[in-house]
Amino acid sequence: MDQGIYVGIDIGSLSSEAVLLGDEGVLAYSITNTGANPRRAADRCLEDALAKVGLDEGAISQIVATGYGRIRVPFASRQMTEITCHARGAHFLFPRTRTVIDIGGQDSKVITLNAHGAVTDFVMNDKCAAGTGRFLEVMADALETELVDMGRKSLQAKRGVPISSMCTVFAESEVISLIAEGYKEEEIIRGLHEAISKRIFRMAKRLRVQEEIALSGGVAKNQGIAEALKALFRKRINIPPEPQIVGALGAALYARDMALGKG
């Protein structure tokens, strides 16, 4: 294969992703659990992505790492913030993107961009797990339901049960109380999704949100969250086919820039 291979690796708190980018677009990607060793997760997801296209590390031109664990990827040529990389990845997928909502495992961000995809401003919640993937995992355990089923179940409810607390510990106790009071599971789940979406919406109001909006991060796979956000923002919201790799894609795009002498 004669084309250059550019790699983006995103080491998140819960999951890690690698994207292989060629001159014509994405060649392969891999998603794995980060676990307790970010370096091992980086090795694993890179090896898996390369195996999918029958390549080895010798074919790689440049590697850029992003995410909270980016400094644990010593073989990367450069480390870049996830905010910059999510913006670049979302703008590549949806060129009219002016706002990115990234809901990850343990933080959430709202990022605004200009017409060229450069970050103009952002707000971030990284002080607690409220409104993140970890929050939903805890609620799924409390409800004894599968995390992947929550989006579908919430769409079955005609209304959501109001959730008064977004603190993970208090919300878990509240959910257990609602179950005991006889509320339907799907109504509780919808209430949780609405509460998370309202939190994101309040964060976004601190910025000048413009269309189009793109969702990134694993929580974007949740249909219930997506529909709740659409109802609040009343703007076009785009969801990539695989929203979990947006940050790694952005990193791979910067790796390509480096290889071509553009960055």
At 27-41, the pLDDT tens digits run 999 999 999 999 999
% of the chain at pLDDT higher than 70: 98
Amino acid at the residue 221: K
Q: How far is residue 10's CA from residue 40's CA, in Å, rounded to a whole number?
A: 13
Confidence of residue 109 (pLDDT cuts 50, 70, 90): very high
Do residue 186 and residue 100 come from a single domain? Answer: yes
One domain, residues 67 and 190: no
pLDDT of residue 168: 86
Q: Are residues 123 and 62 in the same domain?
A: no
- In tens, the pLDDT along 41-52 reads 999 999 999 999
Query: Residue 92 pLDDT > 50, yes or no?
Result: yes
pLDDT of residue 2: 55
Same domain, 208 and 252: no
Instruction: Report pLDDT for 131.
Output: 76
Q: For residue 1, what pLDDT band results from cuts at 50, 70 and 90?
A: very low
| Residue that is written with structure tokens 């009343």 in the block | 234
CB atoms near residue 214 (< 10 Å) = 28
Beta-strand relationship, 5-11 and 78-79: unpaired
Residues 111 and 77 in one domain: no
CATH assignment at residue 156: 3.30.420.40
Full domain range(s) for residue 14: 1-94+241-263
Q: Are residues 164 and 195 in the same domain?
A: yes
Q: Are residues 114 and 27 in the same domain?
A: no
Mean pLDDT over 136-148 rounds to 94
Residue 4 has pLDDT above 70, yes or no: yes
How many domains, in total, are found in the chain? 2
Decide which of 3 and 185 is more confident. 185
How is residue 78 annotated by DSSP? Answer: E
Q: Which residues contact 196 (CB under 8 A, 6 or more apart)?
A: 103, 130, 131, 135, 136, 166, 225, 228
- Asked whether residue 65 falls in the same domain as residue 136, the answer is no
Average pLDDT score, the chain: 94
Do both 109 and 186 map to the same domain?
A: yes
Q: How do residues 126-137 score in pLDDT, each as one tens digit? A: 667 777 888 999
pLDDT digits (tens, 9 = 90+) for 150-170: 999 999 999 999 999 888 889
Residues 186 and 131 in one domain: yes
Q: Does residue 100 sit in the same domain as residue 161?
A: yes
> DSSP per residue over 225-246, as a string?
HHHHHHHHH-S-EE--SSGGGH
- Is residue 66 located within the same domain as residue 9? yes
